[in-house]
Amino acid sequence: MKRVLAILLIVVLASQVQCTLFTSNPYMIAHSANHKDAYLYWRIARERGLIQNGMTLVHFDAHSDMDCMVGDYYDLWLATCERGPDKVEGVTNATFISAAVGEGLVTEIWWVVPDYRYWRERFDSVETFISNGEPRTFYKYVKFCDCEKEEDHVVCALMQVHQVAPPLLTLDMYEKTETRVHFVTLGMLPHFEKEVLLDVDTDYFINALDIDRYPDYFYNQGEIVPWITIDRFMRVLNRIRINSRVVTIAVSPPYAFEEYHYLSYVVAEELDRYLSLLYPSEIKERFQVE
């Protein structure tokens, strides 16, 4: 506990991002303010041999973070993606998953949506993503196609577009990726046969009342209570025996009120305890991303 909290306090106090690399059956827990840094950590982890291309991403978040990289952002990413793992540019908190898909790092995504949003917005229905046989615009440029029910949830293929064509993009401008996206709640997660990328945003834990009041709740006084406890969250991960050598945790200050930020540290501590049983190891080195 002291080890993880000390590391995380350094992350908060420093102007640079810091991680700890565990080795001898290594794993890495990366904690950052901005969620887009997860993409840099994945690239670093791949370079260090912890993961490889074609990973499955388990993404706990109130937002998809699958926006398309378009226009100048895409051009900048394309021009820098061959640089060192932490030197890539053009990626935002909303597009970092699309960047990982674009370079083949992620080929399957399980988006774990907060329960209240999942049922309220009907993520269990194919019609949420497809209308009259054509992909709906899910958010901004985001579209999904080839949607179908798979057991208890919907799974679709992610579509991407990289050009800006005001005022509207037409469907023929999109291309279908090979990446499948599963829309699930925590209780729907299966047992994964292989190791996954585990990614957690603090805003996953924000309760429905606070989401509805956003951003007004930044200025209200009173107790803020997560919709799900960390204990329950960890019980499910233990039950499905999830294996991950690379965990990314984001505070996401623009979307999570300050009183929620402590949850990111608790999650990091609990996941470190859990992973240390799967991958017993010693700290070998610390490294920084400038």
Looking at residue 150, what is its pLDDT?
Answer: 95
Three-point CA angle 108, 70, 47, nearest 5° = 50
Instruction: Give the whole-angstrom CA distance, residue 109 versus residue 62.
Output: 15
Could you give the C-alpha distances from 78 to 73, 100, 107, 290, in angstroms and in order?
A: 9, 12, 19, 21
For the chain, strand residue ranges (E) read 17-23, 28-32, 55-60, 106-112, 130-131, 134-135, 137-139, 142-150, 153-160, 175-184, 197-201, 246-250, 282-289
Looking at residue 218, what is its pLDDT?
Answer: 47
Instruction: Give the whole-angstrom CA distance, residue 96 versus residue 66.
Output: 7
pLDDT tens for each residue of the chain, 290 residues long: 434 443 443 333 233 444 544 444 578 999 999 999 999 999 999 999 999 999 999 999 999 999 999 989 999 999 999 999 989 999 999 999 999 999 999 999 999 999 999 999 999 999 999 988 889 888 778 999 999 999 999 999 999 998 875 556 778 889 999 999 999 999 999 999 999 999 999 999 988 765 555 555 444 545 667 899 999 999 999 999 999 999 999 998 877 777 788 899 999 999 999 999 998 765 545 555 55
Looking at residue 273, what is its pLDDT?
Answer: 92
Tell me the sheet residues that pair with 249: 31, 200
Domain that holds residue 8: 2-289
HSE, side-chain direction, 13 A CA sphere, residue 193: 0
Q: Which amino acid is at 221?
A: Q
Contact 171, 159 (CB under 8 A): no
Two structure tokens written together for 64: 């998809």
Looking at residue 225, what is its pLDDT?
Answer: 79
Instruction: Give the whole-angstrom CA distance, residue 69 versus residue 76.
Output: 10
Looking at the structure of the chain, the number of domains it has is: 1
Contact 248, 204 (CB under 8 A): no
Which residue, among 276, 288, 247, has the nearest Cα to 24 in the 3D structure? 276
**H helices within 87-190, ranges in order?**
96-102, 115-120
Could you give the C-alpha distances from 183 to 69, 117, 132, 135, 257, in angstroms and in order?
A: 21, 11, 20, 16, 25
Tell me the sheet residues that pair with 285: 21
Two structure tokens written together for 35: 């969620």
Instruction: Give the whole-angstrom CA distance, residue 111 versus residue 51.
Output: 20
